[in-house]
Structure 1
Amino acid sequence: MTYRGTMTEPLGARIRRLRADRGWTQRELAEPGYDRGFLAKVETGSRPPSEEMLAYLADRLGLTVDELRFGRPPGIADELRASLDEGYRDLEQGRVALAEERFADVAKQAAGYHLDDVECYARFCQAEVKWQLFDVSGAQEELEHAAELAEAAPPWLRAMIVHRWSGCRYLSGDAGTAIARVEEALASPDLDPDAELCLLSALIHPLMEMGGLHRARRAALDGVRLTRAATRPDFVARFHRQASQVWQAIGRAEQAEQDLTEACRLFTSVGFDRDAARCRWARGYLLRRLGRVAEAREELTAARDQLAAIGAEEGVAGATVELAEVRLRQGEPDEAAELVSSVWPLLARDVEALGEATGLRGLIAQAQGDLAAATRLLREAADIQTRASLHGAAVSTALRLGDVLREQGRLDEAVEAYRRGLDSASTDT
């Protein structure tokens, strides 16, 4: 049967149209439960049907009550969800405008059909567009709209909304709120393995940066257990990418690299090119930390170029800053400075990246022999990181600042910088 209704069609007119589509008289539809005259009044809109009559008519017409009440074509919810899934792959593969148009269209249809769970998913997808374009405040706003409908959403989607919302708060310099929101969601009794794994993944990086290695390790170990029961490969991949940070921090570099390789494989298997490229960025970071700078340069360059082709500005900024640090280590401070400058306008949207890049500019100035600029920039970076409770980064910056001050013979100030680093190192969330 061809669907000919609209979302604004009055209920009575819809019943009349569906009856006529089947070639039935009013008596044939109404009896034996109701008389023809009462159905005539319902169809003209002069009498609203009771819930019991609505259920009776829906059953006679072969529809659910909500399909009849809201004019939903049979199967429309599944069609709209499938459209969102396809749009999400478009987004991951860089077809941002196409994805954004699809998400907006589905959100409008879902609202018209009163499909709160589908509308919630569509709004989450709209937030993902903002996230990809590095519009942190816009993404958070869209996520808050999605959260208003989250009661109807499946557990995995509710968890992903919290995951991304906490990510927005973290990028805005509010790591404490980011962690608290995820931990609150983890206390929910409605979690399934996918949802719990998603939330544990969201905890790891903020905890690491705030000095909470013990808690991050516990989250990683809990996540390893959940990967055996989780059903969504993208959630398992996201966990492996985050957990690699913990393994690296506790000296298990081989496992960290294995996790990143597996995450990249899983993301690629579901067509998530953006996230696969972010795994290459993470692997480049790991390789730099291991001293394998030539490999790190190759991996980070590939990640940056892939993320740029996809239009993932947040990833481009982060991978470029990491690449700049590699080039500095390779004795190319001028090229490192150019790389940081090329993404500087993007960095104000991410307090972690801003602090890291400011500190890197300080190290570049040191390599170029401008110790006054190096001191100023490292102090600025330390202030940014301390305000954002990024204790791990603040420790490294304070130690580098102390070295620069000591190089200038400013020993009292160097001791104070080292002390500041020790204070940050002793902070554990």
Structure 2
Amino acid sequence: MSVSAIAALMTYRGEMTSAPAEPLGARIRRLRTGRGWTQRELAEPGYDRGFLAKVETGSRPPSEEMLAYLAQRLGLTVDELRFGRPPGVAAELRASLDEGYRDLEQGRVADAEARFADVAKQAAGYHLDDVECYARFCQAEVKWQLFDVAEAQRALEHAEELAAAAPPWLRAMIVHRWSGCRYLSGDAGTAIARVEDELAARPADPDAELCLLTALIHPLMEMGGLHRARQAAEDGRRLARAAARPDFVARFHRQASQVWQAIGRADRAAEDLTEAVRLFASVGFDRDAARCRWARGYFLRRLGRLDEARAELTAARDQLAAIGADEGVAGATLELAQVRVREGATEDAAALVSEVWPLLARDVEARGEATALRGHIAQARGDLETATRLLREAAEIQTGASLHGAAVSTALRLGDVLRQRGHLDEAIDAYRHGLDSAATDS
């Protein structure tokens, strides 16, 4: 926001509570006298001076026609006159929210939170439902950033109360994040169904549709729906050419890279991650750029390029920690622990998992992954009894949350551990469970 815009906001910030309570007649009188006009000069030729005098004293309310006439004479919109809005306040408040969102992405959480609360209060006072909805969404993003999934969902539902006034892209983003909260809470089915319902209603613009398709990809893949996830990625690839918001396009590329990795298109996955980093950097979204580095580290691990993966994940974890993104720190650290296991450094891996364990209660997917990783570490140490217990616990978490992709890997590892222990019948049951999970397609 420009210096002049900030100054303008400061001049009317003090009016935000008093302006809506100011009687309409008194406001008309204040605006008239501020211009040095007489009642006759404002009223004529449409109305006579006496009628305007009654309006200004509050003894006669103006009709809608008269209100429109007076607003036009004063150079205002009807709502600016009715609610005491300074001209251009809606655009200034939206710009303030945009700036606050960049603060949030760059780790200035307290500054962003204060700005969002201030704008929400002003927007409510000026009856700007669309701006208030955006401010409420931004407040939910603070909770998301702080990895407080339950509070983020409540804040999103608060924003959704005003969603009818919001632009399509914002309505879609509210659904995107709400479904993300449900997914992290272990309710992947509800998360997917909500997004698919919104898509079936035919979103009004490419940004909204792209946002919703992006929200589908990861949950679908974890529930075993790779075919549907690929269709979402292909549809999104076409839509991205028409989308106007670079942050939405970047989020899509980051998620779509998972699909291309899963089907063996490493070239396309690399292209998508590179483009996502470029787009996030172009709008100053440091948190999301760091999350792309986390995704790139995962990609490199899958390719067996462990040194590069370790470097990328360490950088991602450090960047996310610097801006207070706990959810990202947990995810990047668990992925780094996977690399250390592959490198034979099981003690380092165990320490990394312990470091983020307190964060995992709020994310069922990460908790399942970390429990399975602890089982893997126990197996590497030769503690097969502990490995069996942890892998069974992880399988229960993943199956209960319909995370079929993760459940397959866990079941196969559990079968191997049981076979090592000589429990062949139990091993066969575990392998069968893995096959059942692999065959599940939501």
Is 1:185 the counterpart of 2:195? The answer is no
Matches within 5 A, 1:91-110: 91-110=104-123
Match of 2:214 in 1: 201
Residue matched to 1:350: 363
| Matched position secondary structure for 2:21 | coil
* 1:223-246 C-alpha deviation (Å, 9 max, x unpaired): 110111111111111000000000
Whole-Å Cα distance in 1 between the matches of residues 404 and 114 of structure 2? 41
The one-letter amino acid of 1:300's match is L
Output the CA distance in 1 between the equivalents of 2:62 and 2:383. Answer: 81
**Which SS does the other structure have where 2:327 is aligned?**
helix
Which residue in the other structure is 1:213 paired with?
226
Residue 395 (str. 1) matches residue 408 (str. 2)? yes
User: What percent of counterpart residues are identical?
Assistant: 84
Q: 1:376 aligns with which of 370, 389, 392?
A: 389
Q: Does residue 1:131 correspond to 2:121, yes or no?
A: no
For 1:78-134, what per-residue CA distance to the aligned partner results, in whole angstroms no more than 9, with x for missing partners?
A: 000000000000000000000000000000000000000100110110011000000
Q: Does 1:331 align with 2:344?
A: yes
Partner of 1:73: 86
Aligned partner of 2:435 among 415, 419, 422: 422
Structure 2 counterparts to residues 247-396 of structure 1, below 5 A:
247-396=260-409
Structure 2 CA distance, aligned partners of 1:95 and 1:8? Answer: 34
Q: 1:230 and 2:230 equivalent?
A: no
CA distance in 1, matches of 2:200, 2:40: 55
Among candidates 140, 161, 165, match of residue 152 of structure 1: 165
Compute the displacement of 1:282 (Å).
0.4
Poorly superposed stretches of 4+, deviation over 4 Å: 1-5
- Is 1:241 matched with 2:254? yes
The equivalences for 1:44-83 within 5 A come to 44-83=57-96
User: For residues 203 and 431 of structure 2, what CA distance do their matches in structure 1 show?
Assistant: 46
Runs of 5+ unmatched residues, structure 2: 1-7
1:373-419: CA deviation from partner (whole Å, max 9, x where unpaired): 11000000000000000000001000000001001111110000000
Q: Aligned pair 1:30/2:43, yes or no?
A: yes
CA contact 2:116–2:136 (8 Å) conserved in 1: yes
**1:42 CA drift (Å):** 1.3
**Once the 2 structures are TM-superposed, how far is the Cα of residue 369 of structure 1 from its aligned partner?**
1.6
Distance of 1:261 and 1:190 partners within structure 2: 28
Q: Which deviations, in whole Å up to 9, do the C-alpha atoms of 1:25-72 show, x marking residues without a partner?
A: 111111222222221121112221111111111011110000000000
Separation in structure 2 between the aligned mates of residue 25 and residue 192 of structure 1, nearest angstrom? 48
Q: Which amino acid aligns with 2:441?
A: D
**Aligned-residue offset at 1:189:** 3.5
Which string of whole-angstrom CA distances, capped at 9 and with x for unpartnered residues, describes residues 225-271 of structure 1? 01111111111110000000000010101211111111011101110
Give CA-to-partner distance per residue, 1:286-312, whole Å, 9 cap, x none: 111111111110000000000000111
Per the TM alignment, residue 23 of structure 1 is displaced from its structure 2 partner at its CA by 0.7
Q: Which moved more, 1:414-423 or 1:186-195?
A: 186-195
Give the TM-score normalised by the residue count of structure 1.
0.98
Separation of aligned partners in 1, 2:99 and 2:326:
22
CA distance in 2, matches of 1:37, 1:188: 53
2:261–2:269 CA contact under 8 A, matched in 1: yes
Counterpart residue number, 2:5 = none
Structure 2: which amino acid aligns with 1:356? E
Q: Residue 8 of structure 1: CA displacement?
A: 2.4
Whole-Å Cα distance in 2 between the matches of residues 266 and 334 of structure 1?
A: 37
Deviations 1:298-340 (A, max 9, x none): 0000000000001110000000011011111111111111101
Q: Secondary structure at the match of 1:230?
A: coil
Alignment match of 2:187 (pick from 162, 174, 177):
174
Residue 7 of structure 1 deviates from its aligned partner by: 3.2
Shift of residue 190 of structure 1? 4.1
> What amino acid does structure 1 have at the position aligned with 2:32?
R
Give the stretch that moved more between structures: 215-224 or 184-193: 184-193
TM-score, scaled to structure 2: 0.96
SS at match of 2:255: helix
Looking at structure 2, the residues matched to 377 and 191 of structure 1 have their Cα atoms a distance apart, in angstroms, of 47
> Runs of 5+ in structure 1 lacking a partner?
none
Cα pair distance change 1:124/1:51, threshold 3 Å:
same
Partner-residue secondary structure (3-state), 1:348:
helix
Residues 395, 190 of structure 1: CA spacing in aligned structure 2 closer, same or farther, 3 A cutoff? closer
Tell me the secondary structure at the aligned position of residue 110 of structure 2: helix
Q: Which amino acid in the other structure matches residue 315 of structure 2?
A: A
Total equivalences in the alignment: 429
- Cα RMSD between the aligned structures? 1.2
Say whether the 8 Å CA contact 2:203–2:209 is kept in structure 1. Answer: no
SS of the aligned residue for 1:7 comes to helix
